[in-house]
């Protein structure tokens, strides 16, 4: 076993004091774009794992952000949105792609909150991060917690189109949202992860939260 592989294996087996994922690069011997999509591409890599070479096909994703917006009564804002691949209308927090080149994730989160929910937030924290489908996509989502909410003035509101035009907002008590997640009634990864992370952070007195500043709003 190589030193690099051994280190990664040791970390995965709990050899380090801190439990954490280990960023690891394997040599890519060939990279092909199989499909240029409207939003993301499907690509194929030949990867050298040391003892073998494998072909891995996956979605090359821009990444995304999501916002768990909590009001003064600890109600979370969820929006109904039709998701065609799963043939369902899902309840999700405001969210969107990191598809503006160079845009800070916190700024993207603030933009999505304004565009999808007509809301601004006076306080922001990084809540949790996740790779949605690490075996088949590069998508990484940063989920933020937003509080001290206020409405976007009418003259600055975004005109929503397509699926977004039909979104319905619903304010749900955080405990009720947790119950719906654990009952298997909510399935969006940003909802499941964000709601459970927010409830856990609240149970710890919000001490785990990392505050962030939104560029241009400090």
Q: What angle do CA 165, 171, 173 make, to 5 degrees?
A: 155
Q: What is the CA radius of gyration of the chain?
A: 20
61-69 average pLDDT score:
97
**Which residues are paired to 18 by β-bridges?**
none
- Measure Cα distances from 103 to 28, 215, 216 in Å: 28, 9, 12
Query: Does residue 10 or residue 153 have the better pLDDT?
Result: 153
State residue 209's pLDDT score.
94
- Cα distance between residue 39 and residue 29, in whole Å: 26
State residue 157's pLDDT score.
77
Can you give the residue ranges of every domain in the chain? 24-60, 64-212
- Cα distance between residue 47 and residue 96, in whole Å: 30
- Cα distance between residue 77 and residue 119, in whole Å: 10
Instruction: Answer for the pair 202, 188: CB distance below 8 angstroms, yes or no.
Output: no
Query: Of these residues, 25, 103, 139, 164, which one is catalytic?
Result: 164
Reported as a pLDDT band with limits 50, 70 and 90, residue 15 is low
State residue 153's pLDDT score.
85
Residue 10 has pLDDT above 90, yes or no: no
H-state helical runs in the chain: 3-12, 105-117, 174-182, 189-203
Query: Does residue 127 or residue 5 have the better pLDDT?
Result: 127
Phi-psi domain of 197 (left: phi exceeds 0; alpha: psi -120 through 50; beta: other): alpha
The mean pLDDT of the chain is 91
Of the chain, the percentage scoring pLDDT greater than 70 comes to 89
Reported as a pLDDT band with limits 50, 70 and 90, residue 100 is confident
Reported as a pLDDT band with limits 50, 70 and 90, residue 163 is low
Pick the CATH number of 64-212 from 2.60.290.11, 3.40.50.10140, 3.90.79.10, 3.40.50.300: 3.90.79.10
Residue 218 has pLDDT above 70, yes or no: no
Q: Is 217 a catalytic residue?
A: no
Q: What angle do CA 167, 168, 171 make, to 5 degrees?
A: 135
Query: Does residue 57 or residue 2 have the better pLDDT?
Result: 57
């Amino acid at each position: 076993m190589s030193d690099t592989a051994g280190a990664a294996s040791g970390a995965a087996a709990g050899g380090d004091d801190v439990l954490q994922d280990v960023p690891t690069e394997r040599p890519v011997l060939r990279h092909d774009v199989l499909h240029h999509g409207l939003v993301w591409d499907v690509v194929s890599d030949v990867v050298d794992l040391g003892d073998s070479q494998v072909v891995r096909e996956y979605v090359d994703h821009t990444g995304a952000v999501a916002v768990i917006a909590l009001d003064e009564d600890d109600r979370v804002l969820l929006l109904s949105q039709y998701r065609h691949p799963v043939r369902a209308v899902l309840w999700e927090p405001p969210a969107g792609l990191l598809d503006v080149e160079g845009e800070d994730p916190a700024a993207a989160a603030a933009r999505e909150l304004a565009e999808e929910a007509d809301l601004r937030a006076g306080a922001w924290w990084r809540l949790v991060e996740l790779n949605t489908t690490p075996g088949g996509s590069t998508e990484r989502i940063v989920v933020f917690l937003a509080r001290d909410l206020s409405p976007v003035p009418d003259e600055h509101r975004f005109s929503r189109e397509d699926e977004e035009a039909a979104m319905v907002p619903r304010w749900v008590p955080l405990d009720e949202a947790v119950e719906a997640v654990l009952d298997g009634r909510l399935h969006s990864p940003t909802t499941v992860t964000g709601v459970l992370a927010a409830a856990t952070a609240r149970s710890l007195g919000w001490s785990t939260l990392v505050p962030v500043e939104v560029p241009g709003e400090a």
